[in-house]
């Protein structure tokens, strides 16, 4: 596995994962998929890391699958057993992941972005699912995640025409959280991730878990999940710290336990 295909930085409470195949437009090959899975394992296991950012090195966030690998008969290597395509799209995660996107994020690049929790992108970013133009199917989650993110009508248009979805339109439809000039994307993503990491990490993870099921369960089921989440938190140190810090008029000191 090539450790250099995704760079990994730990910056206080944040982990930063950078796709690092600029010569291949950061296309996903087997090394990328395996490295992504290993780094997400590290991120999830490290109690000192409370939020993460996924970005790309070079002018393209990710061009999707490495077609040279597919042509060579290595298409299966682009997925992992636990993470699916790119080691990410079907990954079971507890902690938040913010996508910081400059340049285009097409095909599998859009699917990686949709697998993240929040998206910050450049004002000239293009999303899109051009698979149908090549008699292919976007099989890494976009066919169900895009309708959830932007609504059925615009999602079907993007899926069936294969035409690009510009950053501003993606923002207007609710897929993207921030659209900023290219040079501000990383700073904006870091600020967003830091605003998450300033909160109680166990509460963030528990809240995320319930929210991610919003389109899958009925209200009664999700209410029970919410009550279980607060019940589990009630025995933690951070649960006591929040009200105590409020009463004492000081910033809380979260321990993640």
Please write the tens of the pLDDT for every residue from 186-195. Answer: 999 999 999 9
- Torsion angle (degrees, nearest 10) of CA 140, 142, 143, 148: 140
- The pLDDT score that the predictor gives to residue 97 is 98
DSSP, collapsed to helix, strand or coil, labels residue 61 as coil
pLDDT per position as a tens digit, 146-175:
999 999 999 999 999 999 999 999 999 999
Catalytic residue chosen out of the listed positions 37, 69, 131, 188: 131
pLDDT surpassing 70 at residue 64: yes
Catalytic residue of the set 111, 172, 194, 221: 111
Please give the structure tokens belonging to residue 36: 């992504």
- pTM (two decimals): 0.94
Tell me, what's the pLDDT at 1? Answer: 57
Please tell me the predicted confidence (pLDDT) of residue 73. 87
Please provide the average confidence, as pLDDT, over all residues in the chain. Answer: 94
Q: Average pLDDT for residues 40-61, to the nearest whole number?
A: 97
Our answer to whether residue 111 is catalytic in this structure is yes
The CATH code for residues 3-197 is 3.90.226.10
Mean pLDDT of 1-9: 86
Instruction: Tally Cβ neighbours within 10 Å of residue 96.
Output: 21
14-19 and 51-56 beta bridge pairing = parallel
Distances (CA, A) of 44 to 31, 39, 93, 153: 20, 9, 7, 35
Annotation marks residue 37 as catalytic: no
């Amino acid at each position: 596995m090539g450790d250099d295909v995704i760079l990994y930085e730990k910056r206080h409470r944040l982990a930063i994962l950078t796709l690092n195949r600029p010569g291949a437009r950061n296309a996903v090959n087997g090394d990328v998929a395996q490295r992504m899975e290993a780094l997400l394992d590290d991120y999830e296991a490290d109690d000192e890391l409370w939020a993460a950012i996924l970005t790309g090195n070079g002018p393209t966030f990710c061009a999707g699958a490495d077609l040279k690998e597919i042509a060579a008969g290595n298409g299966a290597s682009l997925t992992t057993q636990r993470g699916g395509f790119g080691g990410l799209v079907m990954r079971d995660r507890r902690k938040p992941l913010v996508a910081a996107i400059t340049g285009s994020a097409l095909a599998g690049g859009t699917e990686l972005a949709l697998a993240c929790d929040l998206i910050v992108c450049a004002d000239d970013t293009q999303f899109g699912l051009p698979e149908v133009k090549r008699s292919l199917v976007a099989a890494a989650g976009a066919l169900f995640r895009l309708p959830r993110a932007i609504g059925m009508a615009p999602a079907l248009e993007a899926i069936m025409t294969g035409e690009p979805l510009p950053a501003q339109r993606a923002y207007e439809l609710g897929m993207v959280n921030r659209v900023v000039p290219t040079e501000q994307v990383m700073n904006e993503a870091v600020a967003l991730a830091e605003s998450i990491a300033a909160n109680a990490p166990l509460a963030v993870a528990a809240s995320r878990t319930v929210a991610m099921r919003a389109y899958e369960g009925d209200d009664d089921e999700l209410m029970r999940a919410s009550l279980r989440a607060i019940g589990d938190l009630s025995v933690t140190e951070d649960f006591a710290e929040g009200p105590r810090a409020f009463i004492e008029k000081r910033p809380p000191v979260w321990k993640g336990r």
